Amino acid sequence: MKKTMESGRVDQTSLGHNVHLAERAYRIRRNALRMGEVQGQGYIAQALDIADVLAVAYFHAMRFRPADPTWEGRDRFLLSNGHYAIALYAALIEAGIVPEDELETYGSDDSRLPMSGMARYTPGMEMSGGSLGLGLPIAVGIGLGLKRKQSPCRVFTLFSDGELDEGSVWEAIQSAAHWRLDNLVAIVDINNQQADGPSTKIMGFEPLADKLRAFGWFVQRVDGNDIDAVVAAFDAARDCPEPKPRIIVADTRMGRGVPFLEAREKNHFIRVESHEWQLALQALDEGRTA
Amino acid sequence: MTRTAGKPKLKTSAMIASIADADQPTREAPFGHALVELAKTRPEIVGLTADLAKYTDIHIFRDAYPDRFYQMGMAEQILMGAAAGLAHEGMMPFATTYAVFASRRAYDFIHQTIVEENLNVKIACALPGLTSGYGPSHQATEDLALFRAMPNLVVIDPCDALEIEQAVPAIAAHRGPVYMRLLRGKVPLVLDGYGYRFELGKAKLLRDGADVLIISSGIMTMRALAVAERLAGDGIRAAVLHTPTIKPLDTATILREAGRPGRLVVVAENHTRIGGLGEAIACELLSAGIVPPFRQIALPDQFLDAGALPTLHDRYGISANAMTASIKGWLG
């Protein structure tokens, strides 16, 4: 279990809690690999890289009722990068929001678990994100709506570094700060990979944290695969007293948790041979900490 | 005498011009006032715009209910995305901009964040079709074609101040997304003389006649009624079927009226001839085996000129003069 450099002695309670979160992340990865195996393909490298963030979001930061995914008192979660549906389903299954026995229907005809997230028929999927660049704008509206209702609930949204290319995302970045949406927590997955190659080569977005701060956000940049750091970031995003929206810039490694996939040539849509799914599950089990 | 003394005054190329003729009765900002009235009993109503409050008449709602109004800035994508978010949280957002920006720049957002999820957002847009002399950037010539093609979206093209006033509560009563064209400022009042009541999804025969049936929507109904009067003076009996709801189309009424034998059927729309009311009706008629003599009065498939609206309406065949001449020509 890694200690964060700044914190010195790690509190024993949080150590136990964070070990528990690592276990959740492991099971999310496992669910994602099993879904990938069902279809023989999928955005599996992304699911592996974001599993730690999802574990912390769902099992540390957010309030929800598994049996009632539209409970008014829930924290909202918007998956802007719709192609990460495989990752979110993995988390929703772990959270008990999507029944475990639906896992094998992933990506199949008449399934409630299509490859690109659909709000209309999937419990826990609060928007249809396939077009990309939509989540943060909707989150602004939800943030405004929650404030209208004087609700203590928060809206979380996950989007990917490629979406930083979309002008709509920057409209939302500006707007959220303008409206002082301190009930909005965004997470951006910086895995430096999009359809045509490394994101920094396609449309450079650095220095990202500086830009976001200049736009009026409370910004934290963390290793998105270091659970302690991610927990600390979600806590700080909750506790920040400033009337600003919050963003966690999470640097992640695609394929994380399965060494041979993490080492594989970085592809937006990673190639996995049919026999490799079981090898991946084995590698995941072997690498399991705690 | 100065050199310019004999030159005719150039007609203005106005971005925003009232569509009313000089002698026509008008009402001021019917949309804004109707929304304020409705909001009194509907606490869930909120208003949004993308830097066009004054130009879509929602400034009246803003001034009456400042804490229920969201100025989103000149950003149409987030206008629609935020409207979707507010609808997620149980509000009934009325989002306004110009028809060009909703139908072009924000189309994906309307499609994906609002309509695909059947959210209760009402999109109300000024400068429909050719109601601006500002040029193609502001002339929404294809909005009806684009929005008709969206599943589950109700599409409305109201005629005048009375209809806008009545349509606002009607679209609020409808559960689901709505796109409504609107006129702003001094809006002509025409339908008060016809005992008219707006009903969503219903076409209404405003006047009957045996020689030609004009099926029209929006400001073209106002024109059609004027044209019918002129034609009557020449012994031509014209019927006017007003079709404010473009989607869902009142197919039954349209087929019944167009199916009455012996009449030229003319569909008149303030919209390109492509993909709008004319093509919609033609498809319904042919599918039902009804094939009357059929003509369209519509904007041409071109990028339109900038200039004064009266000039442009004549040039593109949608002025009362031009319509009268066309219809007489078709009747031979």
Model confidence band, residue B12 (pLDDT cutoffs 50, 70, 90): low
Whether B88 and A126 lie within 8 Å, measured CB to CB: yes
Residues A154, A232: Cα–Cα separation, whole Å: 17
Distance in Å, alpha carbon of B69 to nearest chain A alpha carbon: 11
Mean pLDDT of A80-106: 97
The model's confidence at residue A3, banded by pLDDT at 50, 70 and 90, is very low
The percentage of residues in chain B with a pLDDT greater than 70, rounded to a whole number, is 95
Percent of chain A with pLDDT over 70: 94
Name the residue facing A141 among B73, B83, B116 (closest C-beta).
B83
pTM over 0.90: yes
C-alpha to C-alpha distances, B321 to A21, A62, A141, B312, B317, nearest whole angstrom: 75, 65, 47, 12, 8
Check pLDDT > 50 for residue A170. Answer: yes
Distance (Å) from the alpha carbon of B197 to chain A's nearest alpha carbon: 34
The mean pLDDT of B272-296, rounded to a whole number, is 98
B206: confidence class by pLDDT, cuts 50, 70, 90: very high
Q: Which of A268-282, B247-261, B265-279 has the lowest mean pLDDT?
A: A268-282
**Confidence band of A4 (pLDDT split at 50, 70, 90):** very low
The H or E element that residue A247 is part of is: strand A246-251
Mean pLDDT computed over B9-38: 83
Mean pLDDT calculated for residue range A44-63: 98
Q: Is the pLDDT assigned to residue A221 strictly greater than 90?
A: yes
CA distance readout (Å), B248 to A57, B150, B152, B280, B286 = 43, 11, 9, 11, 18
| Residue B81 to residue A172, Cβ atoms within 8 A | yes
- pLDDT for residue B303 is more than 80: yes
Q: State the DSSP string of B210-261.
A: SSEEEEE-THHHHHHHHHHHHHHHTT--EEEEE--EEES--HHHHHHHHTST
Interface contact B82-A144, CB threshold 8 A? yes
Which of B75, B91, B117 is facing A128, going by the closest CB pair?
Answer: B117
What does the pLDDT read at residue A6? 37
**pLDDT given at position A280:** 96
Does residue A254 contact residue A266 with C-beta atoms inside 8 Å?
yes
pLDDT at B6: 66
| A24: nearest Cα among A65, A53, A63 | A53
pLDDT band at A211 (very low <50, low <70, confident <90, very high): very high
Which of A72, A118, A144, A179 best probes binding to B when mutated, by most B CB atoms within 10 angstroms? Answer: A144
Tokens of B21: 């003729």
Q: Of B122, B124, B126, which Cα lies nearest the Cα of B172?
A: B122
Q: How large is the ipTM?
A: 0.93
pLDDT grade, residue A91 (50/70/90)?
Answer: very high
Q: State residue B3's pLDDT score.
A: 52
> Is A148–B73 a contact, with Cβ atoms under 8 angstroms apart?
no
Say yes or no: B115 contacts chain A, CB-CB below 8 A. no
Task: Give the confidence band of A289 by pLDDT, cuts at 50, 70, 90.
Answer: low
Which among A126, A130, A175 is the nearest to B72, CB-wise?
A175
Render the burial of A214-245: b for 16+ CB within 10 Å, e for the rest. ebbbbbbbbbbbbbbbbbbbbeebeeeeeebb
Option in A127, A131, A144 nearest B108 (CB): A131
Check residue B233 and give its pLDDT: 97
**How far apart are alpha carbons B327 and B332 in whole angstroms?**
9
pLDDT at residue B149 is higher than 70: yes
Going by C-alpha positions, the residue among B208, B210, B207, B212 that lies closest to residue B329 is: B212
* Torsions phi, psi for A179 (to 5 deg): -90, 5
